[in-house]
Amino acid sequence: MNNNLLGIVIDPGHGGADSGALGNNQQEKDYTLKISKYMYDRFKELGIPVKITRDNDTTLSPTERVNKILSSFGNDKDVIVISNHLNSGGADNPSGKLTFFEKYYDKLPKYDII
């Protein structure tokens, strides 16, 4: 395994005018931000280089989001991008946390994250 991790970029899905999924008076954007801030703080505690695309309830266009990701540590295979989303669904529909990991997840050092 190559341990040349440049950094991790955490992307809280949605935000601002884009609420994401809605249900039970809850908004996806709020929970993706809470989850992402927890992850950001935890990676920082572990000494892992980490950036976050938004740390408050702000709207990011798709272009702004990609630019923030790319400007964090560059466009390199040794950068991990984690994009957090939450699915909503009815009785027969899938629901729950959805996280997109960039394909080079093996670059993440072996830390006890949780």
Q: Is residue 65 part of a domain?
A: yes
Q: Is residue 51 part of a domain?
A: yes
Res. 40 pLDDT band, cuts 50 70 90: very high
Q: Reduce the DSSP state of residue 79 to 3 states and report it.
A: strand
How far apart (Å, rounded) are the C-alpha atoms in residues 41 and 48?
Answer: 10
Residue count of the chain, please give it: 114
User: Can you give the CATH number for the domain in which 93 is found?
Assistant: 3.40.630.40
Report the percent of the chain where pLDDT is more than 90: 52
Task: Calculate mean pLDDT across residues 12-38.
Answer: 90
Q: Reduce the DSSP state of residue 41 to 3 states and report it.
A: helix
Residue 111 has pLDDT above 90, yes or no: no
Res. 34 pLDDT band, cuts 50 70 90: very high
Phi, psi angle pair for 36, to nearest 5°: -65, -40
Contacts of 19 (CB under 8 A, 6+ apart): 27, 28, 29
Q: Is residue 7 part of a domain?
A: no
Residue 15 has pLDDT above 50, yes or no: yes
Structural domain count, the chain: 1
Contacts of 36 (CB under 8 A, 6+ apart): 10, 11, 12, 52, 82, 84
Residue 6 has pLDDT above 60, yes or no: yes
* Distance set, CA 70 to CA 43, 48, 67, 81, 84 (Å): 19, 18, 5, 10, 17
Choose the weakest-confidence range: 5-19, 20-34, 44-58, 61-75.
20-34
Structural domain harbouring 88: 14-105
Q: Is residue 6 part of a domain?
A: no
Residue 37 is predicted with a pLDDT of 97
Q: What is the pLDDT of residues 51-99, one digit of tens each?
A: 999 999 999 999 999 999 999 999 988 899 998 988 766 556 555 555 5
Q: What pTM did the predictor assign?
A: 0.78
Q: Reduce the DSSP state of residue 71 to 3 states and report it.
A: helix
